[in-house]
């Protein structure tokens, strides 16, 4: 067997034995139950809710709701949990010297480690997808072939998104020699990227367009229990444009836009649009992906950049 495959096989075996992997899988199971409950709940909602999600299947509602945000916040922790000690653990235990004393190059070692972690992540995501579909069928939620196709189409992007944080974890593992310290650094960094920075960006964007937003809000009225706008909402548009620009460096921004596009959300959804008709439109998956190609490229770049840095650093690192 090729050395890279040998290392990958060993890595998968080790990671599938760790408690942290099963903790995350347990969270995935709970999320699957929560997602199916959300789909059941969405089938019995008010006309206003039906208008917003008009023409959408339960799966489309699930993956474009707060559930999608929860998933986009969990996947980084899966990647970070598998990456933070991928190198420094081997150094601390002294196994890396023994491994590299064999006819094995450093690039084969790190590529094997990465491949093994990728396989583990893929298994975790696939298990979550299969469980979600199974629970939906068990609880009587209608699941069509289009729903399954859209769900499977999100798999490569969920994988790339998680791999971004895997390679960030690998990078931390190379720079921080102590696994316990690396874990703290990884958690803090992920929380900042996924939670803190978007909140800061939202506050700054609101401060920049506060007067425009206040003016726009004052022009809202209720007509037949539905919010209507009495004038063009340029304030909301400016706010969302500023916010999107500030969030461009956050991987979750691009991941959520790609997932939303695959499940049929409209290409441009502003705060004003949400009070109008449905946020969905009928189009093929291929057409949806062409609308968010910039987000796909951004995800790939965000994955390749830290991987290249981690790869280069590992090739030159002192592994004592």
With a pLDDT cut of 70, the percent of the chain lying above it is: 82
| pLDDT given for residue 217 in this prediction | 60
Q: What are phi and psi of 232, to 5 degrees?
A: -55, 135
| pLDDT given for residue 2 in this prediction | 82
The whole-number average pLDDT for the span 225-252 is 72
Rounded Cα distance between 56 and 155, Å, is: 20
Residue that wins the pLDDT comparison between 22 and 55: 22
Residue that wins the pLDDT comparison between 66 and 308: 308
Q: What is the pLDDT of residues 82-103, one digit of tens each?
A: 999 999 888 888 888 777 777 7
Binned at pLDDT 50, 70 and 90, residue 122 comes out as very high
Query: What is this structure's pTM?
Result: 0.86
| pLDDT given for residue 57 in this prediction | 74
Q: Which of 203, 230, 233 is nearest to 216 (CA)?
A: 233
Residue that wins the pLDDT comparison between 107 and 57: 107
Binned at pLDDT 50, 70 and 90, residue 241 comes out as confident
Q: What is the pLDDT of residues 146-203, one digit of tens each?
A: 888 988 999 999 999 999 999 999 999 999 989 999 999 999 999 999 999 999 998 8
């Amino acid at each position: 067997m090729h050395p890279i495959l040998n290392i990958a096989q060993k890595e998968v075996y080790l990671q599938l034995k760790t408690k942290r992997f099963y903790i995350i899988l347990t969270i995935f199971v709970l999320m699957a139950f929560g997602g199916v409950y959300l789909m059941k709940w969405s089938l019995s909602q008010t006309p206003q809710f039906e208008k917003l999600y008009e023409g959408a299947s339960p799966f489309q509602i699930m993956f474009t709701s707060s559930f999608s945000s929860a998933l986009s916040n969990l996947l980084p922790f899966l990647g970070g949990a598998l990456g933070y000690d991928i190198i420094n653990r081997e150094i601390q235990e002294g196994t890396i010297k023994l491994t590299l004393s064999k006819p094995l190059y450093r690039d084969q070692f790190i590529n094997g480690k990465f491949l093994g972690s990728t396989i583990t992540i893929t298994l975790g995501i696939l298990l979550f997808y299969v469980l979600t579909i199974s629970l939906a069928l068990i609880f009587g939620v209608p699941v069509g072939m289009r729903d399954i196709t859209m769900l499977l189409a999100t798999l490569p992007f969920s994988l790339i998104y998680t791999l971004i944080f895997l390679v960030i974890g690998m990078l931390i593992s190379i720079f921080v020699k102590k696994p316990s310290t690396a874990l703290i650094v990884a958690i803090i960094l992920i929380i900042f990227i996924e939670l803190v920075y978007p909140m800061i960006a939202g506050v700054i964007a609101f401060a920049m367009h506060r007067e425009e937003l206040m003016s726009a809000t004052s022009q809202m009225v209720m007509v037949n229990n539905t919010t209507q706008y009495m004038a063009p909402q340029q304030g909301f548009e400016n706010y969302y444009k500023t916010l999107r620009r500030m969030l461009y460096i956050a991987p979750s921004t691009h991941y959520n836009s790609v997932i939303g596009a695959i499940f049929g959300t409209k290409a441009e959804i502003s705060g004003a649009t949400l009070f109008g008709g449905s946020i969905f439109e009928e189009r093929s998956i291929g057409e949806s992906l062409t609308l968010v190609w910039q987000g796909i490229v951004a995800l790939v770049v965000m994955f390749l950049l830290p991987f290249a840095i981690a790869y280069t650093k590992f090739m030159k690192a002192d592994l004592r």
